[in-house]
Structure 1
Amino acid sequence: MKKLLLLMASLILVLSACSGGGTAPKESPKGAEGKSGKPVELQFYFPVAVGGPITQIVDKLAKDFEKENANIKIKPIYGGSYQDTMTKVATAVQGNNSPDMAVLLSTDLYSLISMKAIEDLTPRFSKEYFADFYESFLGNTRSGNTIWSVPFQRSTIVLYYNKDMFKAAGLDPEKAPANWTQLREYAQKLTKKDASDKVTQWGLEIPSTGYQYWMLQALSLQSGDNIMSNDGKQVFFNKPHVEESLQLYMDLGIKDKVMPSGAIEWATVPSDFISGKTAMMFHTTGNLTKVKTDAKFNFGVAFLPANKKFGSPTGGGNLYVFKNIPEENKKAAVKFIEFLTKPDRVAQWSIDTGYVGTTKAAYNTDLLKKYIETFPQAKVARDQLEYADSELSTYQNGQVTKIFNDNIQAALLGKMTAKEALQKSQEQADQILKAFK
């Protein structure tokens, strides 16, 4: 009997050792260092929407970070356009499979807050850290006193102009149009036609697809004020300064005939400028490096022309950290953000892509100082930040922006007056936003 009891006890000990004490251990959170014994792996969603070898640059940044942080692995996931990336992120969040971090439009802020998808970053960084970012970029990073994201690939709209075409038209190639009156005059002189009255060179192109709301917002800021409140709950689409701005936007194509009437594709405008189809264009500074690389002529970059004042909305993407991930991953994401926003890296990112350096410290680096000495066009967007304001961002921002874009497009196609398009936009946006007031 004693032998039988000893045998049973031995069998229990063996089974206990094989099963980890009789209770299966809980699976550690994704890549939790110190729990699973494996490095933290961060899923990093990134949009590829602007010309340039962005994926190679991001891949290198990830590898450089991993060399300094052997316990953290970065897995970039390229999501296509900003809109495509946001759709993929939203789907992942709703499926309880949230990414760790992402670069998304700064204007996605209120949509992400509504989804309860993102981490409050206010306690994750010091006040001194955020103090180095340009104030113009911080409007789309916070709501009230809460900071939800970090400026990364940020932009403004600038005026690009072909200096060779200016010279040929009898214009000073070192002086871009400073105001709306000069813009119209210069565009007239720069528009060329052949013997059959067909335009062979446009004086100006302002995109009218995809981001027409952004272009109109720039004109509205130049005319006195922004087009929305800073809490995401109200828009001012039907104000007189917006109507004045939309009327100019319409007149340039329909009345003045100095740019194509109707739809001017966002993506083809830089190509038109580089190929010589247009002498001037309004476009993001995010295409500066592409123009520098591909243009076979002398070109200038200048502030957008003023009406009552200079003005441009900011644009581009911010770094977001997501809420429903392990604490170890949040800490690792913050560490990666700190790495990405070191002055020399911000400077190099600006040089490689054309985006504006987001911090004052970046412009004090020898790297960016030397670059600006040889390529002064790179400082124009930075200097214009003095006159910049937050991009259109509201709750249900996708719906509000689509409504606004559609009605602006109808006006540019001559299907509505400026007043009708803006009043309709205001009424439709008010209907959407009333739930948030």
Structure 2
Amino acid sequence: MNLHKLNRILAGGLGAALLSTTAAFAVDLTFYYPVQVGGPLTQVIDGYVAEFEKQNPDINVDAIYSGNYTDTTTRALAATRSGNPPAVAVLLATDIFTLIEEDVITPIDTFISTDEDKAWLAGFMPAYLASAQIDGHLWAAPFQRSTAVMYYNKEAFKAAGLDAEQPPRTWDELVEVGKALTVKDASGNVTQWGLGIPGSSNAAHWLFGALVAQNGGQLSDETGTRTFFDDPKVVEALQFWIDLSEKHAVHPTGILEWGTTPSDFMEGRLAMAWHTTGNLSNIRKNATFEFGVAAYPGNPNPASVLGGGNLYIFKDASEEQKAAAFKFVQFMTSAELLADWGIQTGYVAPRDDSWETEALKAYVKEVPQADVARRQIADSKPEISTFESARVTQVLNDALQAALTGRSTPQEALSAAQAEAERILSAYRN
């Protein structure tokens, strides 16, 4: 047997042994993630995971779709308390105070050690990094981030004699345009409403935050320990939302559901709809008419609200799992993958370098609506975020539900909500 052939045999045997050893000592990661928008996104995630495992054969990722954001947070915390935490999860950016208080996550910045790591970190948009920075640490990596935008039916605009390239820019214009777009049949029944803003309990606080920002107010402070629900600017914003139905008759009465608002828009029941940019791909694939995406109006200054989820690494995972989880986080937040995720979903790629990739530049050229959210970031405010986020947010959502359904006035509902939020959060102040 010649030496060359022997070397090949030995190399092959060594390679097989190494593969066997790698497989025997593979790191297993559990990855929880939510889906809050339309489309077959579990398939997209599965494709990303398969590619990561191909590039990292010593890491196995069990990707588990865990429902909506609330479901996913509940499941992740329950698993952690039972001693079986996920290694990594996509959870709301606003969950950060709760996750820190529960002592279940590890700061992302503790894994930064190389120049390559630092370059990766520097690529994120500061507005999205800010929501993950508390007490001098970066606790999460931005992933499926969004802003709320306005979808509008250009054909409905044209039918109403409106300029389809000039969506409303102020609250007054929103009411005026909404009246022109509201259509009734011969019996006086509305067949097309001018505007729809979801008010269901899983979304009301987010879109209400945009209304508050447009009116120059805010719902919480940066410490996560104070809310301003009874501030006059907040009360005025809720009154305007109600007036869209009761006074101006351009919006359905009661509460629109988050999950059905996109279909209401695509089926022509709403001429304008407020929703997440994360539904852009869904609407683009399924709308049978030409539509536009617009930045939110203002009173008078335009404003929207940042939203979406970040990737968190869990503290009680093993050291090997946490190291592997950081590799996975970097893979899932690379410029190229976030560009693709934005194209597949409509979420805003939260990295500046993602927008320089050929794929995303080509997509924006083909679908200019996709660039609206990126341009709106400068006018977007952080989403409400506090300690005991689920409880405080529920308090606000309950108040919004009460006012939107006429059970309370905006002032009554928000004053009661502020008193309850104050009771919850006072314990977290030094």
1:287 and 2:279 matched: yes
Give the TM-score taking structure 1 as reference length: 0.90
Matches within 5 A, 1:19-418: 37-125=24-112, 126-209=117-200, 210-418=202-410
Query: How many angstroms does 1:127 deviate by?
Result: 4.6
Partner secondary structure for residue 57 of structure 2: coil
Query: How many angstroms does 1:50 deviate by?
Result: 1.6
Distance 1:200 1:265 in 2: 18
1:436 and 2:425 matched: no
Query: How many angstroms does 1:422 deviate by?
Result: 1.4
Give the TM-score taking structure 2 as reference length: 0.92
User: What per-residue deviation string (whole Å, max 9, x for no partner) do you get for residues 350-376 of structure 1?
Assistant: 000110011000001111111101110
Q: CA RMSD in A?
A: 1.4
User: What per-residue deviation string (whole Å, max 9, x for no partner) do you get for residues 280-327 of structure 1?
Assistant: 001001100000000000000010111131211111111010001111
Distance 1:110 1:224 in 2: 24
Partner secondary structure for residue 70 of structure 1: coil
8 Å contact from structure 2 (residues 171, 300) kept in 1: no
Distance 2:87 2:246 in 1: 48
8 Å contact from structure 1 (residues 139, 230) kept in 2: no
Farther off after superposition, 134-143 or 394-403: 134-143
Query: How many angstroms does 1:129 deviate by?
Result: 3.0
Partner secondary structure for residue 225 of structure 1: coil
Distance 1:370 1:36 in 2: 40
Query: How many angstroms does 1:130 deviate by?
Result: 2.8
Partner secondary structure for residue 376 of structure 1: coil
Structure 1 residue identity aligned to 2:419: E
User: What per-residue deviation string (whole Å, max 9, x for no partner) do you get for residues 91-113 of structure 1?
Assistant: 11111111111111111111111
Structure 1 residue identity aligned to 2:411: K
8 Å contact from structure 1 (residues 41, 72) kept in 2: yes
8 Å contact from structure 1 (residues 144, 231) kept in 2: no
Distance 1:158 1:36 in 2: 46
Query: How many angstroms does 1:214 deviate by?
Result: 1.1
Query: How many angstroms does 1:226 deviate by?
Result: 2.1
8 Å contact from structure 1 (residues 221, 312) kept in 2: yes
8 Å contact from structure 1 (residues 98, 324) kept in 2: yes
Query: How many angstroms does 1:36 deviate by?
Result: 9.2
Distance 1:169 1:366 in 2: 39
Number of residue pairs aligned between Structure 1 and Structure 2: 405
Distance 1:161 1:306 in 2: 17
Distance 1:142 1:52 in 2: 31
Gaps of 5+ in 2: 1-19
Query: How many angstroms does 1:274 deviate by?
Result: 0.4
> Residue in 2 aligned with 1:5?
none
Distance 2:142 2:73 in 1: 17
Farther off after superposition, 118-127 or 49-58: 118-127
User: What per-residue deviation string (whole Å, max 9, x for no partner) do you get for residues 244-282 of structure 1?
Assistant: 111110100111111111111111110000001110001
Query: How many angstroms does 1:343 deviate by?
Result: 1.0
User: What per-residue deviation string (whole Å, max 9, x for no partner) do you get for residues 25-73 of structure 1?
Assistant: xxxxxxxx98994211110011123211111111110110111111111
Distance 2:211 2:279 in 1: 20
Gaps of 5+ in 1: 1-32
Structure 1 residue identity aligned to 2:170: N
